[in-house]
Amino acid sequence: MQRGKKAQDTFLAHILAGVEAAKQDPSALLVFSGGETRAEVGARTEGGTNRTTTEVFALDSYQNLLFSLLRFHELTDSYPQKITLVSYAFKRERFVELHRHAIRFPRTRFEFVGIDPTWDKEEENVRNGELENAVKLWREDLYACNVEGGLRSKRRGRNAGRRKWTYGLSVETSVKELLRWCEKGGGEVFAGRLPWSE
């Protein structure tokens, strides 16, 4: 899906939409998120660009959202008042209804900008794949905690750079608890106090 001109054009549209959203708010910080997910390209990250802030540890969409928020905190010593997330339109449910809900970021302060490529005949296959291979899995396992197969296994397999994130070093105890939620079972929505949900 991510190979070829269509994907490149869509990624460019995502970047431009992010830049436009940041231009509208002089206090905004634009964060491009994505870790080293392909061994064959070496130490290059999905989020790496010139003259921007990057988040380089995320290995899946849940981590893209949460780690961008934590990267923001790392740089500003505060949490964002609003998040504008730019991605594929077909991933709207995954980000808005599942990941945002899992980290309990208020819906009223969360905007999703969805941009899909121009589809030929593959749109139905992509949407069906999103439902079967992402949405259903994230609904069952909001934090990718299940040890056997599924999302957790996929996340481990994508860590081509063998990186370990360090966000737990610079956040308050309640956020550390969210980051360790899988160690406590992770079945229910995290109920602890989170600084951005107040």
Contact call for residues 155 and 138 (beta carbons, < 8 A) = no
pLDDT greater than 60 at residue 151? yes
Lowest mean pLDDT among 37-46, 69-78, 84-93: 37-46
Task: Name residue 101's amino acid.
Answer: H
Beta bridge partners of 54: 32
Q: With a cut of 70, say whether residue 39 has pLDDT above it.
A: no
Location of structure tokens 């197969």: 149
126: its two tokens: 């992509």
Better-predicted residue by pLDDT, 39 or 130:
130
pLDDT exceeds cutoff 50 at 51:
no
| Rounded Cα gap, residues 31 and 29, in angstroms | 6
Identify which of 82, 169, 91 has the alpha carbon closest to the alpha carbon of residue 127: 91
pTM value is: 0.76
Q: What is the DSSP string of 107-159?
A: GGGEEEEE-PPPPSS-HHHHHHHHIIIIIHHHHH-TT---SSSHHHHHHHHT-
